[in-house]
Structure 1
Amino acid sequence: MPEPVETSSPDGVDYGWVMQTTFVITILVGAPIVAMLSINVDLPTWASRAEFAIRVGAVVWIVVALAVFAYAKRHQEE
């Protein structure tokens, strides 16, 4: 009988958990950050708004991803 898809037996860091957690935290933390930072920036077109959101979101994503990975690495079961 095959192993169910929702289970895993990772050796070391569970990268699936890291990716899912990074996604959720980036949305929850990144959206307010982008909104707050965009208040004082002139964004006249939709293209400039999208570019701003992508640039700020990318920085938020990489910071969150590294933090979540470091957390998972530090707290992995040995």
Structure 2
Amino acid sequence: MSIATTARGWQASLILAFQRRAARTFLEHCAHQGPLQVQRPFYPEGDAVCHIALLHPPGGVVGGDELHIQAQLAPGA
């Protein structure tokens, strides 16, 4: 696995797609590049609301880091 870094900082991207099936919202698709990841989805408010924790393992965001997040929500999600 290659981790992208430049003289300016870390570069990472994350693509997420959420879907609703019956009364539950779930993470249908997750793709990442570089040091930006998602932990397992969890549901502290019940099945209708899907929570995720975003992880940036290098220890935090600093000047020059570029973190791109794209999220797609299906109707009702």
Do they fold alike, i.e. is TM over 0.5? no
Whose helix proportion is higher, 1 or 2? 1
Output the TM-score relative to the length of structure 2.
0.28
Output the TM-score relative to the length of structure 1.
0.28
* Pair member with larger Rg: 1
Higher RCO, Cα 8 Å, sep 6+: 1
